[in-house]
Each structure stands twice: as C-alpha cells, then as structure tokens.
Chains A and B, each alone.
Chain A
Amino acid sequence: MNGSRLILTAIFTFSLLFQTSELYAAPDDDILSLPLESLMNLTVTSVSKRPQQLTNAAAAVFVISEEDIRRSGATTIADALRMAPGVQVARVDSSKWAVSARGLNSRFANKLLVLQDGRSLYTPLFSGVYWEVQDTPLEDIERIEVIRGPGAALWGANAVNGVINIITKSAEETKGGLVSAGGGNAETGFATLRYGTAISDSTFLRFYGKHNEHAGGLDKAGNRAYDSWSMTRGGFRLDSSLSSSDTLTFQGDYYDGKFKETYQSYSLIAPLPTNTKVKDGGSGGNIIARWQRALPSDGNLSLQLYYDHNERNMLVLPQKLDTIDIEFQHHFVFQNNHDVVWGVGYRFSRDQVSNTDTIFFDREKDHHSLLSVFLHDEIALLPGTLSLIVGSRFENNDYSGFEVQPNIRLIWTPTLQHSVWGAITRAVRTPSRGEQDLHYHILTGPPSVEYTGNKAFKSEELLSYEIGYRLEPVQRLTFDIAAYYNDYSHLRVATGTVDPTKSVSSMIVSNDMHGNSYGAEFSAEWAPIHWWRLQSAYSYQHIAMYLDGTSTDMVNKSNAELSTPKHQVSLRNGFDLSKQVTLDIWLKGVGRLEQLNILSQPISVPGYVTMDVRIAWKPERNLEMSIVGQNLFTSQHSEFNSDVVNTQNSEVARSVYGKVAWKF
C-alpha cells in the first residue's frame, strides 16, 4: 500500500464524516432564559477533552505537574520521570540516560515515544531519545503526561511500551522576568533567564537563555569519571489569540552541548576492554508553527508544522538529521454520544552520517517519509457511565511498509469515585535505518565481530492486554492501579556465530525473538491535611524472552529480560511548614539488574535505595531560595551499564546544590 492509497483512505474517511455531520444539527434554544430547575433537567454531553481530565482516560496515565517537578528538585527531564510509576529511569554516565516504560530498557530504548509540544524527540537513526539534549528549562514545562502501555493508535508507531508527552507553558502564562541560578557539586553551575511580555492584548511572547555545567560521575573507585558536560540553550515562544476561537503558536529552540565521554573497546583476545577518552558535541534546533481552532460544543481543529535539525559529533558515528513534519487533527462530538478525533500526518526526514572504522552505513546519506492517518471514536454506550473507544492508526513507512495499529478500550465509571477500564491494543516498533544498513564492529580485532543490518528486518510487534482501576474512596485520597500482559513477537536479536579463526565474523540483525511480560503499577496520592501531601508509586514486572530460529543471542535475550528492575518504588512527602517554607522528601528504591556485556559476561547492577531532600524558603512572593540534596543514602551508586554503544558507565554520586529563583 503506498502513500496515494492512504490519501484515498483519508478522503473516504473524511467524506463519511460529513455525511454524518447532517445529524450534527442541534437545538439553538437560548438556554440562558431557562430557570434553574429546567436547566438541571437538561441532558448534557458529558465529553470534554480538557487536558486535566486525562486522568479519566481508559489508559494508564500519570501526570507530572509543574509543581511536582519544582518540588522534586530534579534538574533534568529524565530525572523528573522517576516520579512516574511504571517508568524506568537509569543513568548510564553523567550525560546519558536509559529511559523506558514497562521494561526493555536501554540507552536506545526504542519502544517509548517521546514528544514535546507535538514534536517527536525520537531519533529514527538508532530508535531512541538523546535525553541529554532535551533540557528545556524546567520552569517552562506545564506538565509531563506519562502514558504507560501502547499509545500507538493515537500517537503513532514506536509508542509500544509508552508515550511521554512534554507540554510547555503558553507565553501568556510566563509574563515578566525570571532569573534562576545556582550550583553544587554535581550540578556545578546553572543559570536560566526568561522574559515574557504582552505584545498586544492577545499576543504574548517569551524568550529564554540557559546554561548548565554538569560534573562527571564517579568511577567504581570513587574518582571523577571523564564524562562532565555542558549545555547552552535559547529559545522563544509566541502565542496569539487571533479571535475568540483561534490561537496561533510559534516556538523554537536552539542548543549546543559539549560532552566528555569514555568509550570501551572490547576484543576477543585482550582480557580487558581498552578505554578511549573523547570529547563530543551535539547541537540542534527546531521551529514549530501551530494553529488551533476551538469549535462549538467542545470540538477543535489543529494544524501543526515543524522543522527540526540535530547533529551529533559522536566518536563512533557523527550524524546529522533534518525532519519536517505536518499534522492535522480534528476533534468533534456528534449525536451527543460520539466523541471523535481523527488526523493525518506526514513526516519527511533526511539524515547524513560520517562512516567510521567502528560503525559504517551502506549509504552515508538517506531520506525517508512517513504518512499516517488515525481515527478514534469514543462512544458513550451508557451516557456518563460506560464508554467504548475504538480506533486505529494506519501508517506507511519506507522500511516495513503499511502498518495497522488498532485498539479497543472500555471504561466504566459507575460513580464519580470509581472507574474501571480495560484495553486491547496492537502496536509496532518500526525498523530504524541502523537495523537495515548498519555495519558495527562490535568487537575490535582481529579477529573482529561485525553486526550487520538486514534489509529484511521488519517491525517488532506487541499485542497488549491492560486493565486498570481508579478510586477516590474519600476526598483527598486517590488510588490508581493498572495491570498488563504484553505479548511481543519479532523482537530484534543478532543471528550468526563467532568464528575466532576468521578475521571478521558477521552477526546479522534479525527478528528472531518473542516473549511476554506482565506487571502491575500502583500509585496513590493522599493529602491528609492541607499542609502535607503524600505521593507513592510502586511497579512490579516480569519479562520472559525466547529465541527463535537459529539465534543464540543470549546478550539481547538477557538484557531484554533483566535490564529492568522487578520492583521499583517511589515515595514523596511534601510539607508546607509555613507560608514561606516547604520541605520535600523523596525516597526511591530500585531493584537489581542483571545485564550482560557483549562478551556475554555478567555485569549486574545492584539494587539501591536512596533519598532526595529539598527545602525551600520563599520570603517574598517573587523570590525563592532552595537547597536540594540528592542521592543522600550512599556516597555513590551504579544505575545502568551501556549496551549498544559502549560508553563506559559511571556512578551517581551523593550531591547537593543551592538555587535562587527571582521573578520580576
């Protein structure tokens, strides 16, 4: 199926839509003239797509608010994600993170889709996210929505295990100036300057600049590792209300980062890996234009266009990537019981790599396009209490062709205090360019071992079954429980044998693994008194993988099974000690990992329990001073070993920083 067929499908869907819009006609009574008794007897559509009500969704959703981020003391987006249940965040070295939801974690975790203001942060070259360059000022983030479980039907391919949606504030909310600065032993120095202004009654603009210096981690012996880094970043956002129903947003950022890094080279003959110290850099920018129109009766339209450029001067593979993306969405209610969202999107990306002795591609330059259409209908079966959601996304990509990713969900809300939901979803992780044309000398030699891409490599697949329950037994106490069973097939492994007598042995990337995982996540929020808030999250999971065909790739098998902790817990206590002073205590516990390095040697990471504490004093409404202690329980701990790219990992040290934030 090619692109033009897809466009035809879109047109067909679209014409269907406007046949039904005949039924859209509605009473135009002036309800303002009705007395209160009559008003209360009116039947009202219960659907509303306000983002706050995301927690009523038929999916495992967790929202990290602006206040959660500030009071957590987290200094990076990746670290803020540790608050969410079911999300695994582990630092590889000082500037690199492995982040996944519901397991299969890796620095290049490829089953988690990450978006910021509708822009994909996922790099299609390797499939994964460079978390170190996602350092938008945390003060500009309105909320982070974390959706565990497949969200592919709505959000697109690669949203297999979860979706993370970072949403920044409108420029209207950031009028005036903000200066924040501070430093400590791990965050050696940081400063953010932001200024927002009203250009007219309905047009607002803000711009910002930011610089961070981060110290390196620690090696096993407690010495500073060679992995310090710095990032400089600037950007703007303009929001304008063109009319009472139309808004226009323009936003853009540019960043430049410098990273020190230690690479490990493994060899079949040398007993120990050799380390190489390098400096690499990464820069990039993006510009987004978005037009939104609010339609009567809670509908809306949006059209978004963005351009993103990023480049990375990595030792093993310098790379550049340009992306242009256009997306249209329409949300409307018809016949009072159908809440429909549909959209079309097109993405064009062009990349250029510079081949090295370690990694080279068949083609140094390449370009790809992706066309997608989705349709979602939330049907109120019993208005207000039972809804059925059906929908699917249809995509056409250059690697695996046409992909269908449907889902069906049911949510039952018998009373305002309880809701129960369930879902069955199919999602795929589409191949990356690397999996098709890469040659990676994973063991230096001679004899050496080369991983080779496979043009026949197809999408990894997931069929997921989920259930969830939300409960608000009394006011100020909420529970959220979700459980899942994931059935994976065609997962990526390497197939082939290493022959020490040959100068180069080849291992081919193939789809020869299947497996399953099950688990549960629990979160609770309780505010027993107005000055005390308690938030807890616990996640459990179990993964089993099975090799198919001739593959004997124990490295990928055991890393899929055991690079994710079985148990993970987070407990946050927030105290408002007085009108000026707040205290936050955050306890984190993460279970043991059993990873293997590429020579199949075990490199396990012990479990750890640690604590962050933040104390803040706000003497004036516009001034806040805070001191944050992080990872206080032990002097250092390890969180993850690198996998695909052999970065020497470093450990996370106990650290303290102070910060002053002043608004004017």
Chain B
Amino acid sequence: MKQFIKIAGLISLILMILSVLSSQAEERPISESQVKAAFVFNVAHYVNWPSPNNDTILIGILGKGSLGQEWQKLSGKNMNGKKLTIFKSNDIDEMLRCQIVFIEESNPQKVSRILQVLRDYPLVTIGDFSSFTSMGGTLNVSLLHNHISFSINLAQARAVGINISSNLLKLATEVIQ
C-alpha cells in the first residue's frame, strides 16, 4: 500500500509538471540556435552562386532529428527576390542540390569526411566550431564571449566559383585567402 502511494504520488507529480510546462512553453530568450539561423539568413544576402538557376535558395541542415523551430521560421522568407526553402536530413547526398549547407556535427573526424564529399560542389558550407574553416568549410559561425563571430575560407569559396561580398568579409574575424 505504501508502495502504491509512492508510485501514485510520483506519477501525479509528473503529470502536474508536464501540464504546467506545456502551458509555459512559449516564452523564450534569444538562444544560440536562433542567432545562428538569423546569421545563415543574412549570409544568403551576401553570396552569389555561379549558376543562379532558379528563384529559390535551398538550405540544407545536415543533422539528426527534425527541423528546429528557428529554421522553420526562416523557411518561405524572401531574400533578394529569392524564396528560401529549408529542410533537414542526415543524408549527405541530399545536400548536394543545396546552395547552403549547415552542418550540425562537431566531431572533427566526421566533419572532415562530410567536407570531403561536399568540397567540389558550388555550395556554402557553414559549421559552428573553430577549426571548421581550416578543414575546408566555407564559413564558421561560433560564439565568442556571448556574441557570434565568424570566419570565412575565401579560397574554398573561390575554388567552387562562389562570390562573397566584401561587406561580409569586413565583418569576419578571420579570412583564409
């Protein structure tokens, strides 16, 4: 009986917590992921691709799980008259048709393998850890003292015919030529 009361108490406690939390879930401070999504949105503005084939910019998020809310907000928005379409997948082959690929992985060995596949395609790869650009990624956006900062591998962008505006280069903390 005592056992039963304990279990019942625990379950009712959990249910109570869940109900309160689900009603609370909407308020939010600015998070790292929101700012990074906003950064990716801005990047689309400063970049020209070699063959502007149609009127959409396809952004692929390479990672596990479903598309986060910060990205969903971005999807369908217009940038310089082009519509942004965003999807998430863990399949690298699906990334090859994108203009921008955001790589959520941060294990250097895995990222190095991913970049080996992507490096010959005219796409902008964006990662979020310090050695990303030196490994052959195009852009690294990371947090430094609670502010976002980014570095650019211009040599990689040029090698695949991507043009990056000097206005973006000016704001970068490091540009690899």
Residues of A within 8 A of B (CB): 3-4, 7, 10-11, 14, 18, 21, 24-28, 31-32, 34-37, 39-48, 50, 52-53, 65, 67, 170, 172-173, 202, 241, 244-245, 247, 294-298, 301, 303, 326, 328, 330, 333, 336, 344, 346, 348, 369, 371, 383-385, 416-417, 472, 475-476, 527, 530, 533
| B112–A475 CB distance below 8 A | no
Give complex CA distance A41, B39 in Å. 12
| A28–B38 CB distance below 8 A | no
Residues of B within 8 A of A (CB): 2-3, 5-7, 9-11, 13-14, 17-18, 20-21, 24-35, 37-39, 41-42, 46, 64-69, 72-74, 77, 90, 105-110, 112, 130-131, 134-135, 142-149, 168, 171
Residue in A closest to B147 when the chains form the complex, CB atoms: A40
Residue in A closest to B105 when the chains form the complex, CB atoms: A52
Residue in B9, B20, B68 whose CB lies within 8 Å of A18: B20
| A26–B29 CB distance below 8 A | yes
| B149–A40 CB distance below 8 A | yes
CB distance from A346 to the nearest CB of B (A): 5
Chain B residues with CB under 8 Å of A301's CB are 18, 21
CB distance from A412 to the nearest CB of B (A): 13
Chain A residues with CB under 8 Å of B26's CB are 296
| B14–A44 CB distance below 8 A | no
| A533–B109 CB distance below 8 A | yes
Chain B residues with CB under 8 Å of A533's CB are 109
Given A172-B64, A296-B69, residue A44 in contact with residue B24 (CB < 8 A): no
Chain B residues with CB under 8 Å of A28's CB are 28
Chain A residues with CB under 8 Å of B112's CB are 527, 530
Residue in B32, B39, B147 whose CB lies within 8 Å of A36: B39
Residue in A42, A173, A333, A530 whose CB lies within 8 Å of B35: A42
Would you mind naming 13 contact pairs between A and B with Cβ atoms under 8 Å apart?
A31-B34, A32-B74, A32-B77, A34-B38, A39-B35, A42-B30, A47-B32, A65-B107, A330-B17, A369-B6, A371-B6, A416-B130, A416-B142
CB distance from A663 to the nearest CB of B (A): 13
| A4–B5 CB distance below 8 A | yes
| A346–B10 CB distance below 8 A | yes
CB distance from A375 to the nearest CB of B (A): 14
Residue in A4, A27, A35, A245 whose CB lies within 8 Å of B29: A27
| A298–B145 CB distance below 8 A | no
Chain A residues with CB under 8 Å of B13's CB are 7, 10-11, 14, 344
Chain A residues with CB under 8 Å of B106's CB are 50, 52-53
Chain A residues with CB under 8 Å of B148's CB are 39-40, 42, 44
| B28–A26 CB distance below 8 A | yes
- The A-B contact count (CB < 8 A) is 175
Chain B residues with CB under 8 Å of A241's CB are 65-66
Give complex CA distance A10, B38 in Å. 39
| B73–A43 CB distance below 8 A | no
Give complex CA distance A645, B169 in Å. 67
> Helix, strand, loop or mixed for chain A's interface?
mixed
Residue in B42, B74, B131 whose CB lies within 8 Å of A35: B42
| B90–A173 CB distance below 8 A | yes
Given A39-B39, A303-B14, residue A383 in contact with residue B131 (CB < 8 A): no
Residue in B closest to A327 when the chains form the complex, CB atoms: B14
| A48–B32 CB distance below 8 A | yes
Chain B residues with CB under 8 Å of A27's CB are 29-30
Residue in B30, B90, B146 whose CB lies within 8 Å of A384: B146
Residue in A46, A296, A326, A333 whose CB lies within 8 Å of B146: A46
Residue in A24, A40, A416 whose CB lies within 8 Å of B27: A24
Give complex CA distance A51, B154 in Å. 30
Residue in A21, A41, A336, A344 whose CB lies within 8 Å of B14: A344
| A36–B168 CB distance below 8 A | yes
Chain A residues with CB under 8 Å of B25's CB are 295-296
Given A14-B17, A42-B30, A45-B32, residue A326 in contact with residue B10 (CB < 8 A): yes
| B108–A527 CB distance below 8 A | yes
Chain A residues with CB under 8 Å of B14's CB are 303, 326, 328, 344
Chain A residues with CB under 8 Å of B46's CB are 36
Give complex CA distance A26, B39 in Å. 20
| B72–A21 CB distance below 8 A | no
Chain B residues with CB under 8 Å of A40's CB are 147-149, 171
Chain B residues with CB under 8 Å of A295's CB are 21, 25
| A476–B105 CB distance below 8 A | no
| A297–B90 CB distance below 8 A | no
Chain A residues with CB under 8 Å of B107's CB are 52, 65
| B69–A244 CB distance below 8 A | yes
Chain B residues with CB under 8 Å of A384's CB are 143-146
| B105–A383 CB distance below 8 A | no
| B27–A39 CB distance below 8 A | no
Give complex CA distance A31, B109 in Å. 33
Chain B residues with CB under 8 Å of A476's CB are 108, 131
CB distance from A33 to the nearest CB of B (A): 9
Known: A39-B148, A384-B144. 18 other contacts (CB 8 A): A4-B6, A4-B9, A18-B24, A27-B30, A32-B37, A43-B146, A44-B31, A45-B30, A65-B109, A172-B65, A241-B66, A296-B27, A296-B28, A328-B14, A346-B6, A348-B7, A371-B10, A416-B142
